[in-house]
Structure 1
């Protein structure tokens, strides 16, 4: 028989713990910019550069 105190945490508990860990990291100043934000900024920069080249 399995011990109910040693069950694996469910999806909801793991998700809540992951969010709590991220909040704790951010409060300690370990915040990093998500990759998709960096990719978006790069895309906007490249599109602007191409627009300048094509329109001049």
Structure 2
């Protein structure tokens, strides 16, 4: 193994550590926001709730009417 290969390997390990550190910081920030009460409901949950309400109303209209 020559110097360039070991330098590439070290750079890759550094990039991986940086990615892991950024990911951990992002998770820590999200947990801190949630503890402060800044929790937001994910968009997909709101979408599912809206679809369920609309389907429920349509079923009520078609089954009763």
List alignment gaps of at least 5 residues for structure 2. Answer: 1-13
| TM-score, normalising length: structure 1 | 0.75
Q: Aligned partners of 2:28 and 2:60: how far apart in 1?
A: 44
The answer to whether residue 63 in structure 2 is matched with residue 55 in structure 1 is: yes
CA RMSD of aligned residues (A): 1.7
CA radius of gyration, larger in: 2
| TM-score, normalising length: structure 2 | 0.66
Return the structure number with greater relative CO, CA threshold 8 A, min gap 6.
1
Residue in 1 aligned with 2:25?
A: 17
**For 1:4-56, what per-residue CA distance to the aligned partner results, in whole angstroms no more than 9, with x for missing partners?**
xxx77632222111111000000111111111111111010001001001111
What is the aligned residue count? 50
Residue in 1 aligned with 2:9?
A: none
